Each structure stands twice: as structure tokens, then as C-alpha cells.
Amino acid sequence: MPRLPSGSSISFMSPLISAKNVTVVRDGRSVLKDVSVDIGVRDFLTIIGPNGAGKSMLLKCLMGFYAPDQGKVSPRKDLRIGYVPQRLVADPTIPITVRRFLHLRKKITTEALKSVVAETEIGSSLDRPLAVLSGGELQRVLLARALLDAPQLLVLDEPAQNLDITGQLSFYKLLERVYKEREVSILMVSHDLHLVMSSTKNVLCLSGEVCCYGEPNSVAKNPAFISLFGEDMAQMLASYQHHGHSHGHNHGHGHSHSHSIENDTDKKAIPHA
């Protein structure tokens, strides 16, 4: 498996999380095999892959919820992580309001709450029961709760999976604004790559092991991506123009270098941003 040469780190800042050679075996089957990835400062990495590819398991390992059978995950000391799950099933027999939910197990100031409520546009839902919210409203509430701790890394596991297309567009637009306005990195599992093309900096294509990695337009042309998702999806993604992010990297010796997209797409050890 190809590796970056020893000592070839392309960022002068240490990653928020570094995973090296992560392998997870369940029932005799490798769910993850030799996966290495760094989540850098101000990174926006989207993980894609077919069902059963190990995407959610990789998130669990990176967040420390699951210890890999082989390999190592090294988070930065005192790293603050905010997590947004796929969905939350609110029990209608327990009529907890959004306001109360946001306060659960969190000590937050009135000003911090006001700021996050305004940022995620959930003010009209504060005194409504969780159980009556639409899917889009609930995902905004979950995002708000994740942001209350001022995370350095925001982790989202298919956050728009259960939303209609209008809800998906609205949620990803909000997420892009959060990324632009906060000093935060984003790590997300998503099947909606066509909706996050203008936001995500890099894409990691996973199928048990890393198939390809790089900027979205580059990944869409990679044979491994085409094999997994088909020519139609590849052509659709290739038609998007990725913009809005600088991909130069300072090596700490007075000048910077740009990513080589051609080289990015088949690296198995992923550089940090």
C-alpha cells in the first residue's frame, strides 16, 4: 500500500486527530483495513462509500468510541468535539422542549445560547416539544447542541439522510456558513456529495480500505470512485466547479506548495490540511 515518505508532512500544524493503520475485524471480516487519515486544522473532509464500507465505524474509532483491533488513533490533547448523529428519535410521551434539551448535561450561559440559536435559526422552535419538530428542524437543533461547546472539530454522520431535498439544501447551506464563520474543522459522512461539492475541501472514498482521496473534482475522475458509484455519478460530479478554498500549504521554510490533485487521488496515507 502506497505511503507518504517518512517525514513528508505537508502542514506545519499538528492534526486534530491522526489515525494510523486502523484495522477493525468483526465476525472474521475486516470492517476497516489499514486506514490512515489525518484531520487537520480548518479541514473539511467528507467520507463517502457504499453501504457496509465502514464509514460509521471509522467515525467511532476517530472519536474514541471504539478501539481498533490494530493501528492507533491519536487525538490532540483536550480536543473539543461536537457530534451530530443521523437522527434522534424523540419520545412523544416525554414532552421535552428544545430549550430544555439544549441545557441537558451542559452548563451554558444565556449569551452562548442566544448566539447559537441565532446562528442555527432555531429561535421559533425553542419552546416546542422535540417530538413535533420536522426532520430539518430537529437536525438544526442537534447541530446547535453540538456547537454549544465551541468545538474544534464538528463530526456529522449522514446528517441529512432523512431530509427531503429542500431540507438537505438548507442544512448544507447552514453547515457551510458555520464552517466559514467559525474556527472549526468538519468531518462528515455523507451520500450527498453533489450537495456539498462547493463546501468540502477533500473527499475520502472508503470501501473497507481507502480507495481514493483528494479534492472532489479529482476524486470524481478516479477509477476507484467510478467503479463504486458508476459513470453517471462521476460525470455529474465532474461538472461541478469546486471553489472557495485555498489548498496551498506552508512547510515552515518560507514558501508554500500547492496540492497536486493527480497525486492526491491515490494516496492511502492521507495528509492533513
Question: Is residue 47 within a helix (H) or strand (E), and if so which, with residue range?
Answer: strand 44-48
pTM of the model: 0.80
Closest CA to 203 of 194, 211, 213: 213
- Using the structure block, give the residue that is written with the C-alpha cell 446528517: 159
Pairing, β 44-48 against β 185-189: parallel
H helix intervals, 26-103 = 55-62, 98-103
For every one of its 273 residues, what pLDDT tens digit does the chain have, with 9 covering 90 and above?
334 333 333 344 789 999 999 999 988 889 999 999 999 999 999 998 888 899 999 999 999 999 999 999 999 999 999 999 887 877 777 789 999 999 987 788 889 999 999 999 999 999 999 999 999 999 999 999 999 989 999 999 998 888 888 888 899 999 999 999 998 999 999 877 777 766 788 999 999 999 989 888 888 888 988 888 888 777 777 666 554 444 433 333 333 333 332 334 343 344 443
Q: Measure the CA–CA gap between 198 and 25, rounded to whole angstroms.
A: 35
**φ, ψ of residue 195 in degrees (nearest 5):** -95, -15
